[in-house]
Amino acid sequence: MNKLIITVAPVGAETTRRDNPNLPLSPEEIAEEVFRCEKKGASIVHLHVRDADGNATQSKDVFEETINLIKKQSNIIIQTSTGGASWMKAEERLQPVMLNPEMATLTAGTVNFGEEVFSNPMPMMTEFAKQMVERGVKPEIEVFEVGMIHNALALIKKEILKLPLHFDFVMGVPGGIGGEPRHLVHMIESLPPGSTWSVAGIGRSELPLATMAIVMGGHVRVGFEDNVYYAKGVLADSNAQLVERIARIAGELGRQVATPDEARGILGLIR
Ligand code: KMH
Ligand code: ZN
C-alpha cells in the first residue's frame, strides 16, 4: 500500500482560542507548530492565516510572511486555503494562489456551513481552477458532500482540470455530509479512477474516519481547523499531538508514513 500522507490543518478560519487556548495564530506561532507537526509525521500543511487581531485573513502578505517562516525550517508541502472564511469574496480568497504554492484547495460546490453558506458557484470554481493550472499549483478538491465530486468531473469534462485528481473529503460539517463510516465508503466509490484522497473528519468523527482511511489506502487530515479535542472532553495540547497519534495508529496497522518528498511523489508534485 502507498505510504500515508498526513496533512495538518493547524489554524483554520473559525477556531478560536476559546475553543482551544493552544491555537497558533501569529506567523511565528504557526511556523513553529508546523515544524513540530512535520517532526511527528505531517507532510502537508493546509494553511490558513490570521491578522494581528487573530481574525481570519487571506492577505497575500500574511501568507507570504508565514510561508517564508515555515520554509526556513521545514520541507513540508504548503497547501494554501482558497476557502478562507464563508464571508470572504472570491478575489480575497484567491490571493495566496498568487504566491504559487505547491498546492491549494479548490472547493467543488456550495454548501451550508453551520448558520452560514459557503458559496462556491461553478464560475468561481472555474476561475480558481484556471489560476491554479496556469501557475502549476496542484489543486486539492475539497468535497463537503458527494455531489461535489460530480462538479469536479464537470471541470474535467470542460478540460480545465486533468485526471488524476487529489480529493479531500471534509465530513461532519453541519450542512454537509455526515461523519459516519458508510458515507466515507460512498465517497470513495464515487471517485474517478486513479484518484488519491484524504479525509478530514470534523470533531468527534476525525479519529474514526482517519483510522478508516489508514486501512483503506487513503490519506488523513487532522488539526485544530477540524477538531480541537484529543478525547471526549479533553482538549488536545497541540496539533502535533494529533499528528503523532495518527502516525502511531498507522504504525500499529502496518502503514508507513510518507515524508514530504515521498508525498510529493505520490501526488505528482515534482515540478
Ligand atoms: N473555512 C471554510 C469556510 C478550505 O480551506 O479550502 C472553508 C475552508 C475550506 O476552510
Ligand atoms: Zn481550510
Structure confidence by residue, pLDDT tens digits, 88-147: 999 999 999 999 999 999 999 999 999 999 999 999 999 999 999 999 999 999 999 999
Complex ipTM over 0.95: yes
* Residue 1 confidence class, pLDDT cut points 50, 70, 90: confident
Chain segment 181-190, per-residue pLDDT in tens: 999 999 999 9
| Within-domain flag for 197 | yes
The domain of 57 spans 6-267
As for how many domains the chain has, the answer is: 1
Residue whose cell numbers read 475553543 = 19
Ligand 1 center–CA 168 separation, angstroms? 11
Question: 13: Cβ below 6 Å to ligand 1?
Answer: yes
Give the per-residue pLDDT at 271: 60
Query: Rounded mean pLDDT of the chain?
Result: 98
Write out the E strands in 34-183. 42-47, 49-50, 56-57, 77-80, 103-107, 111-113, 116-118, 138-143, 166-171
| Within-domain flag for 249 | yes
Give the per-residue pLDDT at 245: 98
Chain segment 33-56, per-residue pLDDT in tens: 999 999 999 999 999 999 999 999
Chain segment 70-93, per-residue pLDDT in tens: 999 999 999 999 999 999 999 999
Q: Which ligand is nearest to the CA of 83?
A: 1
Question: 85: Cβ below 6 Å to ligand 1?
Answer: yes
Ligand 1 center–CA 30 separation, angstroms? 17
| Within-domain flag for 116 | yes
Mean pLDDT for 158-178 is 98
| Within-domain flag for 221 | yes
Sorted by sequence, the CB contacts under 8 Å of residue 43 that are 6+ apart come out as 5, 6, 7, 76, 77, 257, 258, 259, 260, 262, 263
Give the per-residue pLDDT at 126: 98
| Within-domain flag for 11 | yes
| Within-domain flag for 1 | no
Task: Identify the residue whose C-alpha is closest to ligand 1 atom 7.
Answer: 83
DSSP-based three-state secondary structure for 203: helix
We report the CATH number of the domain holding residue 139 as 3.20.20.70
| Within-domain flag for 166 | yes
Ligand 2 center–CA 111 separation, angstroms? 14
Give the per-residue pLDDT at 270: 73
Chain segment 203-258, per-residue pLDDT in tens: 999 999 999 999 999 999 999 999 999 999 999 999 999 999 999 999 999 999 99
Mean pLDDT for 187-207 is 98
Residue whose cell numbers read 482551544 = 20
Strands 103-107 and 138-143 turn out to be parallel
Mutate to test the pocket of ligand 1, among 44, 105, 224 (most ligand atoms within 8 A of CB): 105
| Within-domain flag for 160 | yes
Query: What's at 199, amino acid-wise?
Result: V
